[in-house]
Amino acid sequence: MKSQKVTETDFNKARRWYQDACGTALAMDLIGERWSLLIVRELLLGPRRFGEIRSALTGLSANILTQRLEGLEKGGILRRETLPSPANTQVYALTRWGRALEEPIFALSRWAAGSPAHDVTMPLSNTAFMLSLRTMMDPVASRDLGLDLGFLVGGEPFRAAILDGRLEVRREDPAGAELLFEGQPLALAHSFYGPVLLVENIAAEKLRVTGNLQTAQRFVDLFRLPAFLSD
């Protein structure tokens, strides 16, 4: 049997924490430093500028962000790109291999949501809220529901659609969507996951829904946080 060739990369030359051949150990070498996985999360819906990543992650300094971006680039998880004219701005984008982290991140999110330590009142980025919808939507109850959805989360535009029980999300102008949800990420999260009812947040002017309110409530009802797990 032909053995797999081990290639020499910048990451292989760098310091390794665990000195362990297990894939789990290598994963922690690649993305285990503080902030690394959250940076990847912010890039799952497309390239982001340095300032956009930093503003989305409360408490992340410019210096640490620079270090983490360099480490993720050396590990082959992201790359630097330049937006075409007239923007001509440098952005950070996941590689094809980096985008494969989506499912592990979703699995970790679902697992952690079952912890009593899960505090839904803590800050939430716009991207994190939209990804939570992909993570937590009931795939069975949503199969017969086809919707063209728009979101303005913290003023940031997103477009979404339900396809075969899966919520597809992209950064895009939501104009013309069948339903449009507008609000800050925490206000939206409190309506989608509790404890505040959708109509209560609308009445308090903490969020706005454009479109059929019954259909909006039916969509919101697709989302539940898992019960806390115990022995």
pLDDT single digits (tens) 210-231? 999 999 999 999 998 877 766 6
* pTM summary value: 0.88
**Model pLDDT, residue 14:** 54
One-letter amino acid for residue 53 of the chain: I
Task: Write down the pLDDT at residue 21.
Answer: 84
Residue 127, exposed/middle/buried by CB under 10 A (0-12, 13-18, 19+)? Answer: buried
Whether pLDDT at 11 is above 80? no
Pairwise CA distance, residues 214 & 199, whole Å: 10
Is residue 10 pLDDT above 70, yes or no? no
The pLDDT tens digits for 76-134 are 999 999 988 887 899 999 999 999 999 999 999 999 988 888 888 888 999 999 999 99
Which pLDDT does position 5 carry in this prediction? 47
Q: How many Å separate Cα 71 from the centre of its chain?
A: 20
User: In this predicted structure, which of 4-18, 65-79, 160-174 has the lowest mean pLDDT?
Assistant: 4-18
The residue among 36, 40, 33 whose CA lies nearest residue 18 is 33
Q: What is the pLDDT of residue 180?
A: 98
DSSP run (H or E) holding 90: strand 90-94
Query: Torsion angle, CA of 162/168/173/175, rounded to 10 degrees?
Result: 0
- Locate all alpha helices (DSSP H) within 16-159, ordered by sequence: 23-31, 36-43, 50-56, 62-74, 96-99, 102-112, 126-136
Question: What local confidence, expressed as pLDDT, does residue 202 receive?
Answer: 96
- pLDDT in the model for residue 119: 86
